[in-house]
Chains A and B, each alone.
Chain A
């Protein structure tokens, strides 16, 4: 099962790289050439050294071309390596960009259920960190693996041609360093796990205490927090020393093994050189061997590192492709809903977020064009859910919602949503200028239109006072603005588009009541002739609604206008009277 998953992930990754297969091929060829050439250099140098015997016994005429060759080959290698590096960069960065774009495009098409149901942090890390890891790990891992293998094979061949006997020394002893390395990293893995567990524990304390520093201070909880923190800190430090120390053993021990190999090569090589006869080697060849001996272990160590890197990259790739392969929203119908009159009807609507928990059951409402509908009820009664359905952020499980007689599933989402103006409880602003934010729904609006809309929503006076007025840059969701100001901007945004239907979710909850009073008038104009849905706690804002839907536990339990509902002496009556 796991293998199958890995295979399918690899296939998908290959699919993403397909575009760059020629570059990849070129990179592989270049890698082969540079590795082979760089292995050849020690041989030339060895040969040159052989011509330097002792006083008066130096063959300058033969040395010179050899040394010139070394220089030229070194320059060629350098050039090819640079080209190869650039090609690899290009493949890696382009694949990163491609996959990231693909994942983002997907995100725009996913149902809200996915975005609401997954932590934003997790989705972001797929889009950013995982994609980076995927490209770096897989591509770099692959090229390293490849050059490593070429280097090992190449070195073996070169060594065998010089002296099989010494080669045996190298081949037999080198794996020792690998064994030691893998032995150590297996032990350290569990130590690192302990360390990261302790670190997570500490981070959560930091997040809680520092993130809520005001509460900590309000309750003079600093000392207790410090004790708790120091405990976690101490635990982490103990685990870290162990993890860091043991993992840092890998390099020195493999270096030691390499030193032994080096000594072994020197020993055997010197003996062969002294003995002479068949298979004898020269001093130059010995020096070539010595330089191979130091290099030979390196690709092995690298390859063993690459394997874990590849596994990690593969895990990241799986996560990224999980997102890319996530089921999209049901395809759009082709019918474009024009400017709606604003008749909305819900017929026998059933809906729930999860099958286990039933929410809206058999809900039917008829709303005539231009009606003002207020939705009231205690927290968590399903008001937001209703908005999700009207806007078609979620599809009903059963029943029909229609606008002007059109089932909303039979018109395009865009044309449906364009007919609604929505101001949500949680205000959301984009990075950009104030003007850009207001023009969001109508990019071609003129500055005069924008100012008019802002005046109508009473946002103009505070915008004027911002450092750069309408060109003030808003960042981090408007952190520099007050909640009320943010909401005014969101209202101005709607004022500018004037869609035929409105959804106002606690739209004025953060605005002080005096400002709200001023906005009320603007709203009244805005709502005139427009179907509007208002969610609010404040009874005063919903009193003059044409229809009040009283919701509780996902269902509309009462509906009617204010007077009717009061006469009924039901839930609305209790709710209303509890205010006084």
Chain B
């Protein structure tokens, strides 16, 4: 949280003004009991109505000044809190976008989203309340005590005892319950988890007839939650009654002492009332302070989580490399190893190959053999642990990331589209693409008929996540999006899985006929998708076990043979 506070700098003025005016307001509030004491001791005692009127007007005036001070304070607090949050959020967004795949993998996107949304909202609330109350409440508590001392030192020892005692009760209970509330949250999460499981797994649960079992499981998790809730409730229910009792007993003692002092002629009746009022004020403020501190702890926890994201630095920097590759190759891998962060084994092992411009490369291999990892390294989405990757003879590490990635048209495994028109989505590939270029890309991607079926053509609105398109339709549009860029290198990462064979075959044919002749990488599990490639790379467990054309591999590569025959086993019969 601490480091986040530098974003507060722009709002220094607000951060000073707001608590300052809050304190002013508190000061005026603290004068009121003294005024009342004067009304009683001077006004009533002397029967001076004029004096009473004056004092009452003074009280109204104090209220008015207090109000204006608060308004100023609230305004600046809101401004500072919102501005601070806005700035943090904007840099957080920027920071998240600067992270590489490695960091995104470790953190997980759902975590990042929570940080940006609910955590930041909590921080905002916390900052706002802190600016408003953090100075005010302690100021009133101690202010009231000091005022009491100015009224009468000898009776005010009760304040010195009551305030620590009250603080002990309030903060003791708070400290005791905060960790327990975490437990409550955990158990609630479990209840939610069970319920969610039953929604996503409804078919399996019913197929196995586990409904009764699930009911029992859910009931026991709600029971657990209930138990801990009642337990925490019991403890936190002590707070209000206990503070109430302490304050009232203190008041009784205060009046007794006051009575002694009045009897001795050291104190007036009005002053006893003033002391009594100060004691009541303290109670109200302490409770406010306690709830403020709960909000603050939550906010600080959220702030720390946000800070933790800022602390993660992108592992990628542009590095000038002397070592150059062979510039006649479009893509070249030289003894590349990759080990994911935290993994115990290499995901890619000693990968070397080279690709001429315009060639089509098929990459095939089992699940987890490293196919996607390999193509991700072309755009430097992951850094090689050892070895080098060259594009046009230049090490990928020495490219500006944008320049490097502009050469690529990538179609990821999961077909994601964004909210907006089809045209907006296509322009991700190239901001300046004309409609004709977009339509051409859509044609190559076999999506013309999909487009034709949409009423507004390119202006058709795609909903968030592309929900209003089928899986196959989404996939074809993501292919088109990559093609709009007219990439030098086109990477299709298992991107025809939702297409039927016919469409898949047509797609491959039309990609082959593209006039600007991109270098194409096709990742697939189906031999049919890659068998006509100029070069097929066979991966097994992160290693290249064969490179060559379909026929060469059939002759010389055992793994390829196995894959092929598993799919085309009885072809020859």
Interface residues of A (CB under 8 A from B): 38, 41, 45, 48-49, 51-58, 60, 63-64, 67-68, 70-71, 73-75, 77-79, 81-82, 85-86, 89-90, 93-94, 96-97, 100-101, 104-105, 107-109, 112, 115, 120, 123-124, 127-128, 199, 203-204, 206-222, 224-226, 229-230, 233-234, 236-237, 240-241, 244-245, 248-249, 252-253, 255-256, 259-260, 262-264, 266-267, 270-271, 273-274, 283, 286-287, 290-291, 294, 378-380, 391, 393, 413-414, 417-418, 420, 422, 424, 428, 430-431, 440-441, 477, 482-484, 509-517, 520, 537-538, 540, 543-544, 574-575, 578-580
Smallest CB separation, B150 vs chain A (Å):
20
Smallest CB separation, B507 vs chain A (Å):
11
CA–CA, A210 to B112, complex, Å? 7
Are A237 and B86 touching (Cβ within 8 A)?
yes
Are B233 and A208 touching (Cβ within 8 A)?
no
B569 / chain A contacts, CB cutoff of 8 Å: 540
Are A273 and B44 touching (Cβ within 8 A)?
yes
A-B contact pairs, 12 of them (CB 8 A): A58-B260, A75-B245, A82-B238, A89-B234, A100-B222, A262-B63, A266-B36, A267-B52, A380-B472, A413-B209, A440-B208, A540-B567
Smallest CB separation, A84 vs chain B (Å):
9
- Check if B338 is an interface residue, CB within 8 A of chain A: no
B273 closest partner in A (C-beta): A287
CA–CA, A222 to B71, complex, Å? 40
Residue interface mask B87-107, A partner, CB < 8 A = 1: 001100110111111001000
Stretch with Cβ within 8 A of A (4 or more), from B174-182, B389-397, B497-505: B497-505
Given A204-B419, A430-B201, A226:B229 Cβ within 8 A:
no
A391 closest partner in B (C-beta): B207
CA–CA, A483 to B245, complex, Å? 62
A216 / chain B contacts, CB cutoff of 8 Å: 97
Q: Which of B43, B97, B465 contacts A274 (CB 8 A)?
A: B43
CA–CA, A41 to B201, complex, Å? 60
B43 / chain A contacts, CB cutoff of 8 Å: 270, 274
CA–CA, A86 to B239, complex, Å? 12
A538 / chain B contacts, CB cutoff of 8 Å: 567
B238 / chain A contacts, CB cutoff of 8 Å: 82
Are B562 and A517 touching (Cβ within 8 A)?
yes
Q: Which of B64, B96, B204 contacts A213 (CB 8 A)?
A: B96
Given A63-B256, A94-B226, A266:B262 Cβ within 8 A:
no
Are B75 and A424 touching (Cβ within 8 A)?
no
Residue interface mask B489-529, A partner, CB < 8 A = 1: 00000000111111011000000000000000000010010
- Check if B451 is an interface residue, CB within 8 A of chain A: no
CA–CA, A234 to B207, complex, Å? 50
Q: Which of B59, B124, B259 contacts A52 (CB 8 A)?
A: B259
A226 closest partner in B (C-beta): B94
Residue interface mask B275-306, A partner, CB < 8 A = 1: 01100100000000000000000000000000
Given A78-B244, A248-B74, A511-B367, A49:B67 Cβ within 8 A:
no
B234 / chain A contacts, CB cutoff of 8 Å: 86, 89
- Check if B117 is an interface residue, CB within 8 A of chain A: yes
CA–CA, A230 to B129, complex, Å? 25
Are A214 and B101 touching (Cβ within 8 A)?
yes
Q: Which of B98, B198, B381 contacts A107 (CB 8 A)?
A: B198
Q: Which of B67, B208, B256, B497 contacts A67 (CB 8 A)?
A: B256
B273 / chain A contacts, CB cutoff of 8 Å: 49, 283, 287, 290
Are B39 and A270 touching (Cβ within 8 A)?
yes
Given A215-B412, A291-B280, A540-B569, A255:B78 Cβ within 8 A:
no
CA–CA, A218 to B251, complex, Å? 70
- Check if B360 is an interface residue, CB within 8 A of chain A: no
Are B60 and A263 touching (Cβ within 8 A)?
yes
**10 shortest interchain CB distances as A-B pairs:** A512-B366, A259-B63, A55-B265, A74-B248, A85-B237, A78-B241, A89-B233, A578-B502, A78-B245, A252-B70
B202 / chain A contacts, CB cutoff of 8 Å: 112, 115
CB contact list, B90-140 vs A, under 8 A = 90, 93-94, 96-101, 104, 109-110, 112-113, 116-117, 121, 124, 128, 132
- Check if B4 is an interface residue, CB within 8 A of chain A: no
Name 7 extra pairs, CB < 8 A, besides A54-B265, A90-B230, A208-B419: A70-B249, A97-B222, A204-B419, A218-B405, A255-B66, A274-B52, A422-B204
Q: Which of A127, A218, A252 contacts B379 (CB 8 A)?
A: A218
Stretch with Cβ within 8 A of A (4 or more), from B186-194, B319-327, B436-444: B186-194
B408 closest partner in A (C-beta): A218
- Check if B211 is an interface residue, CB within 8 A of chain A: yes
CA–CA, A89 to B228, complex, Å? 11
Are A259 and B86 touching (Cβ within 8 A)?
no
B412 / chain A contacts, CB cutoff of 8 Å: 214-215, 218
Are A578 and B500 touching (Cβ within 8 A)?
yes
A274 / chain B contacts, CB cutoff of 8 Å: 43-44, 47-49, 52
Smallest CB separation, A115 vs chain B (Å):
5
- Check if B457 is an interface residue, CB within 8 A of chain A: no
Smallest CB separation, B52 vs chain A (Å):
4
- Check if B362 is an interface residue, CB within 8 A of chain A: no
A126 closest partner in B (C-beta): B195
Are B367 and A483 touching (Cβ within 8 A)?
yes
Are A124 and B199 touching (Cβ within 8 A)?
yes
Are A104 and B101 touching (Cβ within 8 A)?
no
- Check if B62 is an interface residue, CB within 8 A of chain A: yes
Smallest CB separation, A41 vs chain B (Å):
6
A274 closest partner in B (C-beta): B47
- Check if B373 is an interface residue, CB within 8 A of chain A: no
B132 / chain A contacts, CB cutoff of 8 Å: 248
CA–CA, A108 to B195, complex, Å? 10
Q: Which of A38, A58, A255, A575 contacts B67 (CB 8 A)?
A: A255
Q: Which of B67, B101, B210, B230 contacts A440 (CB 8 A)?
A: B210
Are B203 and A391 touching (Cβ within 8 A)?
yes
- Check if B363 is an interface residue, CB within 8 A of chain A: no
B78 / chain A contacts, CB cutoff of 8 Å: 240-241, 244-245, 248
A253 / chain B contacts, CB cutoff of 8 Å: 67
Smallest CB separation, B212 vs chain A (Å):
8
A580 closest partner in B (C-beta): B528
Are B525 and A513 touching (Cβ within 8 A)?
yes
Q: Which of A78, A85, A203, A578 contacts B505 (CB 8 A)?
A: A578
Are B60 and A260 touching (Cβ within 8 A)?
yes
Smallest CB separation, B63 vs chain A (Å):
3
Smallest CB separation, A62 vs chain B (Å):
10
CA–CA, A208 to B420, complex, Å? 11
Given A484-B367, A579-B501, A52:B258 Cβ within 8 A:
yes
B431 closest partner in A (C-beta): A224
- Check if B557 is an interface residue, CB within 8 A of chain A: no
Are B402 and A220 touching (Cβ within 8 A)?
yes
Are A431 and B197 touching (Cβ within 8 A)?
yes
Residue interface mask B227-255, A partner, CB < 8 A = 1: 00110011001101110110011011101
B77 / chain A contacts, CB cutoff of 8 Å: 248
Q: Which of B94, B199, B244 contacts A115 (CB 8 A)?
A: B199
B52 / chain A contacts, CB cutoff of 8 Å: 266-267, 270-271, 274
Are B219 and A101 touching (Cβ within 8 A)?
yes
CA–CA, A157 to B471, complex, Å? 71
CA–CA, A25 to B552, complex, Å? 87
Are B218 and A204 touching (Cβ within 8 A)?
no
Q: Which of B71, B116, B470 contacts A249 (CB 8 A)?
A: B71
Given A53-B269, A104-B218, A517-B566, A89:B229 Cβ within 8 A:
yes
CA–CA, A256 to B218, complex, Å? 51
In this complex, the member of B113, B369, B481, B505 whose beta carbon has the largest number of chain A beta carbons within 10 angstroms is B113
Smallest CB separation, B518 vs chain A (Å):
15
Given A85-B241, A219-B428, A259:B59 Cβ within 8 A:
yes
In this complex, the member of A127, A236, A270 whose beta carbon has the largest number of chain B beta carbons within 10 angstroms is A270
- Check if B214 is an interface residue, CB within 8 A of chain A: yes
A53 closest partner in B (C-beta): B269
Smallest CB separation, B234 vs chain A (Å):
6
Smallest CB separation, B483 vs chain A (Å):
12
